[in-house]
Structure 1
Amino acid sequence: MKQDIFKILGLHRDDPEASIAKILDASIQRLEPRLQTLLQDLSVYRLPFDSSAALVMSLQDLENLSPNLSPQRREALNSPPTLVEKGAKELVASSFPDEVKSQVEVELRQLAKRSLLQEKKQQGVWKFYFQPLIQSYLQNSSSPKAHRCAIAYYEQHRKPKLLSTDKLDEVAEYLEIFHHHCELGEYVQAFSSVYYRANNHDDCDEFLRKNYYYPARLALYERLYQEWKQPENSDELKFYSDLLKVYGDVLQFLDRREEALQRYDTALSFYRDIGDRLGEANILQEFGKLQENPQQALEYLQQAQNLYIQIGDIYSQSRNLAYFIADAQLNMGDSDAAINSLTHAAELATTINYAPIQEYAQTRIAEINSTPTPTGGIKERLMQFFQQRWVKFAFCFLVGLIAFLLLRR
């Protein structure tokens, strides 16, 4: 059984029942009450932070921070939690008097002097961070308000537009916003902060996917899947179904096919329950992509296509035809059907002025037409026929039967 490291007893300064918790508590209790609160709140920051991030946390203790504040300024800073989430306190903090900012910097260095914080200079700015053991202990009793302040800080400092040339460090604020929402048990907000492009958020998940940061995606969605209990209301179930779908996508990329199919199967059931036909179609498409038998793959893909047509989703129709249905038809040896699908995909893409699918479809048609062997389709069909399991079994059975009859003669 795993033992709590903070409760392990040992000898320290003649105390036979000393523990890490008691030692840390003794150090923290020597601090002024305001410094104790500040230290506790700062522990929710996982990344090194500067004095501006500390100032956001300091706004929770206005009386002790600056007793000379005007009533108007104090009222503005004592905004409700909903405004904290929107970053309102950070906006006000930017206009704080220099003496208040200096006071916070002095307090940070007091904590560093007592080794409760560490400091280092990064790109000309002093950053503070915790030793892992101290931070872990403090986080055991962190407050929800501290997490909300951290969200407000990172909302103000994240990049509103992510570029394809950006590195993983550029989305650090997005990942921290996700983390703090999870710590608060706000799983819809956590998922939304990285998956949807809304509220001046860029699509963090799309950035991670296009740059092949799959370990980061896996860490995000595994955590949500493990912590987020299946919701009961239909609004939240939509978000949960989207989580299952994207989690399945990540597992599929990592070649964890059975796990991916399980996530997809659950998502499909939920999408059907809430009447989300686009979600249903997207899952059917993924089922088709995972099938080894091209005929079965085509059946799933065609079901998805029918739903896309009913919904009127031109982009999804075009994409499904170009990238998946045409490939399934080629795998079945039906190049004529594949060309028809690619041609139709290009026509649909033209109606929405989406050049990538147009160009892809035209290139694939040229490749198919340049294939010199007219009998290639028959050959492919024969190869696929003899690769089927039941054909192999029947062939082996027939050979065995012939051998048995010959031995009896």
Structure 2
Amino acid sequence: MITLPPVLKKWQDRRELEIVQGWLRNEATAIVGLQGIGGIGKSWLAAYLYEQSTELGFGAVLWADVSQQPEFLAFAKKVYQTFARTLSPEQEQRFAAAGTTEQINVLLHCLRQQRYLLVVDNLETLLNLEQQWRDPGYHQFFSRWLAQGQTSAVLVTTREQPRSLREVPTWRMLEGLNAVAGGKLLAAWGVEGGEASLQQFSQLLNGHPLTLKLAATFLVNYCDGQLREAERLKLTEFEQMAKRATGEHRTVETCLEWILQQHWERLNPQQQTLLQNLSVYRVPFTIQAAISMVEDASERELETRQQLRELITRSLLEELGQATNRRYQVQAAIAHYVQWNVDLTQAHQKAAAYFDQQSRQQRLMAADEEDAAIPYLELFHHCCELGAYATALEVVYYGTDGRDDCDQFLALRGYSATRYQLYSRLGDSWPPETSKPFADFQKVFGDVLQFLKQSSEALNRYQEALQIYRQVGDRLGEANTLKAIGDVLQFLKQSSEALNRYQEALQIYRQVGARLGEANTLKAIGDVLQFLKQSSEALNRYQEALQIYRQVGARLGEANTLKAIGDVLQFLDQRDEALNRYQEALQIYRQVGDRLGEANTLLGLGSLQDDPVSALDYFQSAQQIYLQIGDRYSQGRNLLRFIVNAQLQLGQVEAAIASCEAASAIGTAIGVPVLRDYAAQKLAEIQGAN
């Protein structure tokens, strides 16, 4: 997430400035929106207000450019660190471990204590095509701040207005600069001419700041800055073309396209190729990334740096950050123009080669944030653009060829929304084929869908994968998919069918000598047997699985099985032994960074506490993790099976009722009626008892 605003160059007052300043001075204003088309100056105006924050009464300010689509956790941590100021490492750790709802509670409390200004730039990148939030954390934060915010203000810039913010009264659609300001901007960029002529020329360009900037740099570079020589640019022809355009946006786009055409025609072929190549980068890029786009890069580094400087001088390339962390970016409007009707295959190939090298150098550690995976995610993107879908899958899924297992990293860190976006893109783009990679894709997409409790869709993916594995003779893939189908059937309480799939999978694992798969399936069979209250047989399967996990060094499997053994021992009322197994499992889960396993084990430990206060602490800790990783089913289950009972033991009747209502809402939202029905039953019991 970029936290530095764009550098304010050649600032000119805008007609909206006074109104927006008035909104921000009012402590009752929660959200101010600046909306407009690309290049209209949204970030420019926001940067000016950022610089004015002290004069507007704000004690601290944060610039948050979300164009790289950070998950909500990364955004929330940065806001908290900035405005809470003096934080101990323990406080930061507690905040990171908290669930989304609790994090938002902390942020709202912090923002309401003092006057802070939070600027969120490029908000539209957090939305899907229906103007809905991609990440529910952002939806919850902005919705709650709109309803409960005061003292501080959130200033957003966006091309599109989110549906949930359409009732914001302090929202402004930006227009172009007025004639006077536009004329002054042209003069500030070095255009020479009479005041009236400059104003007239600004009006011709609709006062669109980016177009004015491009026109000015063009005149300075090619006409000695003399506006009177603009006739050499066929200005009359341009005026006629602009008049033929219909609608304000269409006219602005026509002006911008015409100016860009003039710039484009005066670039040499090397500069044109470089700009087109750089335009395929989705995120701000380094000088090394730029140089990688050039043939014989090592021999032409100085020349490439000079070409970059030329593009910056002509306002075709943005320079971001300080010298120690310099980045470059092609504005979206310019990228759209230079990519029009052009074959970008070689550009994507070069970008892919660059990120391929970066991904091999970037180790993914359990404590890393999502930004650590950017080289993997960008390489995935460029492979998809090239139609190399099998390679794209290999980049994020297999963890081979010098790369870490990106999918496992995302799964363990709870970035389920990112995983869903990755595999949804493959699902939308990859034509069906009978191949092992395509079957692997169907299998892992099924895993993500089942994690999100979309069991029907998961089963469809698994069935497609199973058919392909059998066609290509991949016995191990077949066994893995049978095991996954068994997991879904067990989740759906179809225990007999689940056991049949597990037995099929177990037979294949033993035939091909896949010890880890054998252990996983023995563990799953134990789960079904324990569900059927066949505890002795379940323990036998768990012990077999545990032995294999330890032999092959599978720490996560070992933790899962220790947790399961603890569950059986608790069921058999062997409490001390159960506590020991849970503690062993918890230690391993934390070592390997498995948040879901950690949360599930906290529930087991809480269930063994004699003190309801201690029990509730464990349950709430587990709930925070479920919220953080987006496991909504487990949130609802925890509320009903654990948290409500502890609250009732403590006499917290209103809190218990609220927990039931929350669980019911979750059940409705994710399409699991059993949660809603059980919540209604619990509510009736509570109300009957009181």
Indicate the TM-score class for this superposition, using the shorter chain for normalisation. Answer: 0.7 to 0.9
Q: Write the distance in 2 (CA, Å) between the matches of 1:219 and 1:365.
A: 35
1:318 to 519, 539, 545: 519
* Count of residues in correspondence between the two structures: 326
Q: Write the distance in 1 (CA, Å) between the matches of 2:288 and 2:563.
A: 53
1:285 to 483, 488, 503: 483
2:450 to 252, 267, 270: 252
2:530–2:568 contact (8 Å) kept in structure 1: no
Residue of structure 1 equivalent to 2:415: 213
Q: Write the distance in 2 (CA, Å) between the matches of 1:50 and 1:321.
A: 50
1:121 to 321, 341, 349: 321
Matches within 5 A, 1:265-344: 265-291=463-489, 292=492, 293-322=494-523, 324-344=524-544
After TM superposition, give the deviation of residue 356 of structure 1 in Å.
4.7
Q: Write the distance in 1 (CA, Å) between the matches of 2:327 and 2:555.
A: 46
Question: What is the aligned-residue RMSD (CA, Å)?
Answer: 2.6
1:343–1:362 contact (8 Å) kept in structure 2: no
Q: Write the distance in 2 (CA, Å) between the matches of 1:145 and 1:296.
A: 51
Amino acid at match of 1:371: F
Relative distance call for 1:369 and 1:57 in structure 2 (3 A) is: closer
Q: Write the distance in 1 (CA, Å) between the matches of 2:564 and 2:551.
A: 19
Residue of structure 1 equivalent to 2:272: 36
Q: Write the distance in 2 (CA, Å) between the matches of 1:333 and 1:310.
A: 30
Residue of structure 2 equivalent to 1:403: none
Q: Write the distance in 2 (CA, Å) between the matches of 1:32 and 1:358.
A: 62
TM normalised by structure 1 equals 0.73
Amino acid at match of 2:421: A
1:199 to 373, 381, 401: 401
- What is the CA deviation profile of residues 327-347 of structure 1, one whole-angstrom value per residue up to 9, with x for unaligned ones? 111111111210111121123
1:139 paired with 2:339, answer yes
After TM superposition, give the deviation of residue 355 of structure 1 in Å.
4.8
TM normalised by structure 2 equals 0.44
2:362–2:372 contact (8 Å) kept in structure 1: no
Amino acid at match of 1:178: F
Amino acid at match of 2:327: K
Q: Write the distance in 1 (CA, Å) between the matches of 2:573 and 2:290.
A: 71
After TM superposition, give the deviation of residue 240 of structure 1 in Å.
0.4
Q: Write the distance in 2 (CA, Å) between the matches of 1:30 and 1:365.
A: 73
- What is the CA deviation profile of residues 89-142 of structure 1, one whole-angstrom value per residue up to 9, with x for unaligned ones? 6xxx2xx4xxx4343223222212222111111572321102112212323324
Relative distance call for 1:247 and 1:123 in structure 2 (3 A) is: farther
1:290 aligned counterpart, secondary structure: helix
After TM superposition, give the deviation of residue 33 of structure 1 in Å.
2.5
Q: Write the distance in 1 (CA, Å) between the matches of 2:514 and 2:347.
A: 43
1:13 aligned counterpart, secondary structure: helix
Q: Write the distance in 2 (CA, Å) between the matches of 1:366 and 1:218.
A: 32
Unaligned runs of 5+ in 2: 1-37, 39-204, 207-237, 246-253, 575-690
1:57 aligned counterpart, secondary structure: coil
1:51–1:101 contact (8 Å) kept in structure 2: no
Q: Write the distance in 1 (CA, Å) between the matches of 2:275 and 2:386.
A: 19
1:271–1:280 contact (8 Å) kept in structure 2: yes
Greater CA deviation, 223-232 or 267-276?
223-232
1:51–1:104 contact (8 Å) kept in structure 2: no
Residue of structure 2 equivalent to 1:390: none
2:441 to 237, 243, 250: 243
Relative distance call for 1:107 and 1:286 in structure 2 (3 A) is: same
Relative distance call for 1:295 and 1:13 in structure 2 (3 A) is: same
Q: Write the distance in 2 (CA, Å) between the matches of 1:199 and 1:282.
A: 22
Matches within 5 A, 1:166-205: 166-205=368-407
Relative distance call for 1:132 and 1:164 in structure 2 (3 A) is: same
- What is the CA deviation profile of residues 265-314 of structure 1, one whole-angstrom value per residue up to 9, with x for unaligned ones? 11111111111111111111111111222222222222211221112111
Relative distance call for 1:312 and 1:167 in structure 2 (3 A) is: same
Q: Write the distance in 2 (CA, Å) between the matches of 1:148 and 1:131.
A: 21
Matches within 5 A, 1:59-98: 59=295, 77=296, 93=298, 96=299
Unaligned runs of 5+ in 1: 60-76, 78-88, 375-409
1:105 to 305, 308, 315: 305
After TM superposition, give the deviation of residue 362 of structure 1 in Å.
4.7
